[in-house]
Structure 1
């Protein structure tokens, strides 16, 4: 569901509405994220993995199919489902910021029911704030920013920045190809031992 600027307004609005429920209902977001990660699953597999009752699972699947973010890959029983790609950019009403709705953001929203740090951050800063924090987390994992820089940019405490960066770190590593940035503490300690050994 990648969308570009040449789409008509009606199509873009329909696309946005199709993912709005994912951003407002963590259980739907969690289900979408699970299917997106697993690539092709049955309703029974969804029920087993997420602990959903049968009626709830079918209700959620039907809602996601109706929204166009999930589709059945076969008519045979049991049906298997795949998640549609979502990459939708939304501009804030003041025109100053753009937010991209991606599977990573939906995954983060889905984790608010099980991660108090993400839940608290969304309560305080909204989904747009979470999208911004996700961008900073990618940059942080690539060694491009620190939690202090994020805190200064977003006018939040360094502690709040570090907490959300840590909470979003596993999501970033699941959805993005992140190369290790810089040397680890172990690498530095090994280098120090080598230098000491050369001096002996």
Structure 2
């Protein structure tokens, strides 16, 4: 049975975790048992690999948002070489993030959205976050910010950007909240706009990041935003 993408999390091993809502007591003796931690390790390792390989995350997000797609469409849409595209697709298949249907020509790729919700850190990882991370492959401002401040602060900046476009905070307030210079806050807020624009439309877990303002952001159409990928017109591969 297909998961309800508004409520469920698809794990890399194919299982489904219900996410409505996360339990308060998510950390207990059972969850801390070595056997349980070992069983959950592959999921964590998968997320860590995506976080550490923005180019790989970029391919995953495209397939997740616009699948089923053929590899040539991924190549064209992301301007990636054929060999690199197939290398990344093979790795995503190995990680259990992408399914490849070889019964059709060209083969079709699909990917279920993943979400990590940790209450006690706290941190939320969804395709929108992975998209924001992947932007450093094509946007020098995002690359600079990640190099200077790291991934954790990028996620904080993404949250701040969403609140800003919802009219809840100013650039100066975002700068203060995440402890960066005001010019850097302005830079990263607008650099992350593509992830917000596309994520609000395609990420079924977008509301997890912005439960209070997900439908209040003043964002343009994806077709008008630079670095906001859209479905390639060449859908025949």
TM range (shorter): 0.7 to 0.9
Residues paired across the two proteins, number: 177
1:41, 1:81 within 8 Å by CA — same for their partners in 2? yes
Equivalent residue number for residue 162 of structure 2: 138
1:136, 1:150 within 8 Å by CA — same for their partners in 2? yes
The answer to whether structure 1 residue 179 and structure 2 residue 232 are counterparts is no
The answer to whether structure 1 residue 89 and structure 2 residue 89 are counterparts is no
The answer to whether structure 1 residue 114 and structure 2 residue 138 are counterparts is yes
Alignment counterpart, residue 67 of structure 1, candidates 80, 83, 95:
95
2:129, 2:155 within 8 Å by CA — same for their partners in 1? yes
Equivalent residue number for residue 189 of structure 1: none
Pick the structure with more helix per residue. 1
SS, match of residue 189 in structure 2 = helix
Partner Cα separation in structure 2 for residue 31 and residue 170 of structure 1: 15
Q: TM-score, normalised by structure 2?
A: 0.67
Q: TM-score, normalised by structure 1?
A: 0.78
Equivalent residue number for residue 27 of structure 1: 55
CA change 1:180–1:88 in 2 (3 A) is closer
1:99, 1:132 within 8 Å by CA — same for their partners in 2? no
Indicate the structure (1 or 2) with the bigger Cα radius of gyration: 1
* Structure with more contact order per residue of length (Cα contacts < 8 Å, sep ≥ 6): 2
Moved over 6 A (4+): none
Partner Cα separation in structure 2 for residue 15 and residue 141 of structure 1: 32
How far 1:32 moved relative to its partner?
Answer: 1.1
Query: Unpaired segments of 5 or more residues in structure 2?
Result: 1-8, 11-16, 201-213, 219-237
Partner Cα separation in structure 2 for residue 139 and residue 31 of structure 1: 27
Equivalent residue number for residue 150 of structure 1: 174
Supply the RMSD in Å over aligned alpha carbons: 2.2
